[in-house]
Chain A
Amino acid sequence: MAWLNRYADAIYCIVRLTIGLMFACHGGVTVGWIELSCGFLIGFGLLTRLAAFIASGEMAVAYFLTSFSGKVIGHAPTALERFLPILNKGELPVLFCFIFFFTVFYGPGRWSIDALMGKRSTSLS
């Protein structure tokens, strides 16, 4: 099945676009400038690693400030509710945090403004 890896980078770029734009939507709803700008930067692959680093850190902070501390569910969380994102309604920040953490290390991929601008593409194949 290793032949599938030929297409991993292309799929990665589509995933980056989708998730970046979804992240930007959050900025549009709550007027969060980090979400809005980093979402578009990640989506189109401009300064990808930097934007992803900031976005990932912001989501980690958001998770611990709101979900982990029980602000989202509106009462003091039990130990289980602290630990499980599905219970403290913090699943989405966790997923954003880890996908952007991966983006920091993976880089922009071949279909990105970074790659167009002549920085060496970080493609897989």
Chain B
Amino acid sequence: MNSLNRFTDPAYCLMRLIFGLNFASHGGQLLFGMFGGMPGSNSPLLQLCGWICLVGGFLIAFGLLTRLAAFVSSGTMAVAYFMVHAPHNFFPIANQGERAVFYSWVFLFIFFYGPGRWSIDAMIGKGKAAPPASAT
């Protein structure tokens, strides 16, 4: 099954795109009341979170400054989980914080993995941001 590893990096870039865009849509929800909005989203903290979601999401999706954006977004989601969701219940499935856990961990992985080959970072860097050779 190791032959599948040839396609790890394209699958990774696809996943990064989907996660980034979904994350950015939460930014639109918090900042501009798109998609039905979210109650209480005009507090300064949620506005800050909204900007991080929107900008960070698009940066991750298209792979520009990927590691930096992923680090900030991952931290934001960890704070969101422990501030908003964790007090209600220990289990993510019961405290509605599953998506926060999801984004936090996946962006942490993106922070370590890097932009991958289909990204603006790789286009600018020409090989500098290329995936590690043994992954392909």
Is B93 a contact of A8 with CB atoms below 8 Å?
Answer: no
- Are A22 and B29 closer than 8 Å at their CB atoms? no
Instruction: State the B residues within 8 Å of A (CB).
Output: 1-2, 4-5, 7-8, 11-12, 14-15, 18-19, 22, 25-26, 29, 35-36, 67, 91-93, 98-99, 101-102, 105-106, 108-109, 111-114, 128-129, 132, 134-135
Question: How distant is the Cα of A104 from the Cα of B102 in the complex, in angstroms?
Answer: 18
Which of B12, B26, B35, B114 is the one whose CB lies under 8 Å from A102? B12
- Which of A1, A4, A5 gathers most chain B CB within 10 Å? A1
Q: Which residues from chain A sit less than 8 Å from chain B, CB to CB?
A: 1-2, 4-5, 7-8, 11-12, 14-15, 18-19, 22, 25-26, 29, 49, 84-87, 91-92, 94-95, 98-99, 101-102, 104-107, 120, 122-125
**A124 in contact with B134 given A22-B93, A91-B22 (CB within 8 Å):** yes
Shortest Cβ distance from residue B125 to the other chain A in the assembled complex, whole angstroms: 10
Flag if A26 contacts B93 (CB, 8 Å). Answer: yes
| Residues of chain B contacted by A8 (CB below 8 angstroms) | 109, 112-114, 132
Given contacts A105-B4, A122-B5, contact A94 B22 (CB under 8 A): yes
Using known A-B contacts A8-B112, A124-B132, determine if residue A95 contacts B22 with beta carbons closer than 8 Å: yes
Cβ contact of A49, chosen from B1, B113, B135, cutoff 8 A: B1
